[in-house]
Amino acid sequence: MSDEPILRFENVTVRFDDIEALSNLSFQAVAGESRVILGAAGSGKTILLKTALGLIKPDSGRVFAFGKEISALPERELFEVRSRMGMQFQESALFDSLTIEENVAYALENQKFISCPPAQVYPRVAEALEFVELGGTLEKFPSELSGGMRRRAAIARAAVTEPPLMLYDSPTAGLDPITAQTIIALLIKERDLKRCTTLVVTYRYQDGNLIANFRYNPKQGNLEPASNGGARARTTFMVLREGRLVFEGVQDRLEASTDPYITKFFKQRE
């Protein structure tokens, strides 16, 4: 695991009218690292991911991804950087007029920085959908799928190009506990098999706990506790409050915090 930063925020501030959605935020994510970003609704979690992707320009500060200052790049030049990122949006954001197959194939067919011969599009789409256990849904439209299936299809769409940086926006929000666990298991599987850097925004501490303490066992095809030995993904927790970063560190430090706002997150599971 290298310490080369894949994503770096330097004193980033994002404002909407007079409200600071992100306030002087600085952090960096290194290759192979997992970052769990906790925060209450409206704390700026989604804005952080969209800023990382270059969808939102910061009012001040700088954002670097893969060594390029994306906060200074025009939209067209951002496409190359974005081709190395995959984003699962909060409400899935699948194109509702396209089938699941067309949705997942979209990046392969439209990203000019991704070279995928037409003959390989279908096999890669089928493989990505099999990965998220949605092999039988190619011809279906997003409206025909359940919320959890849409979330998995969105993960397949984000991951089909095998980007080195994956961004997940509240992947378990609004899902029942079983489906939520399935989604997080997929996320861990994606992280461990593809060795990608992962940023997960969530308000559920259980999600972060799984990401930090479990890994995917490819032989058995399921999750196992990372304490069983072997490689363990480096996981850093971040807590946002009203756009400000109020905590950054490992799980043990988070759980040792006495800050009432921070303790609310891990006390959820007690």
Partner 1 sequence: MVASKFGDFTGLLDFLKEPAADAQEFFLLTGRALRNIVRTPHYGDDIILQMDTIGVGSLVVVVFVGFFAGVVMALQMSKALSTYGQVGRTGMLVAITLARELGPVLSALMMAGRNASGIASELGSMKVTEQIDAMRALGTDPIQKLVTPRVEAICIMLPPLTVIADFVGLFGGWLIAEFYLGLSARQYWSSAWQALDWKDVAEGLIKPFLFALVIALIGCFYGLRASGGTQGVGKATTNAMVASTLLIFILDVMVTKLFV
User: For binding to partner 1 (CB under 8 A), which residues are involved?
Assistant: 50, 53, 55, 75-76, 79, 82-83, 85, 87, 89-91, 93-96, 106-107, 110-114, 157
In angstroms, give the least distance from the CB of 46 to partner 1: 9
Place of tokens 């969105």: 154
Cβ-contact 161, 86 below 8 angstroms:
yes
Q: How far is CA 12 from the centre of its chain?
A: 19
Tell me how far apart the alpha carbons of residues 121 and 99 are, in angstroms, rounded to a whole number: 14
> Which residue, 87 or 196, is less far from partner 1 as judged by CB?
87
Tell me how far apart the alpha carbons of residues 32 and 234 are, in angstroms, rounded to a whole number: 7
* Residue 154, token pair as written in the block: 């969105």
Sign of the CA dihedral running 149, 154, 155, 159? positive
Tell me how far apart the alpha carbons of residues 87 and 90 are, in angstroms, rounded to a whole number: 9
> Which residue, 90 or 181, is less far from partner 1 as judged by CB?
90
> Which residue, 85 or 125, is less far from partner 1 as judged by CB?
85
In angstroms, give the least distance from the CB of 248 to partner 1: 25
In angstroms, give the least distance from the CB of 106 to partner 1: 5
In angstroms, give the least distance from the CB of 50 to partner 1: 7
DSSP 145: S
In angstroms, give the least distance from the CB of 18 to partner 1: 14
> Which residue, 80 or 255, is less far from partner 1 as judged by CB?
80
> Which residue, 89 or 266, is less far from partner 1 as judged by CB?
89
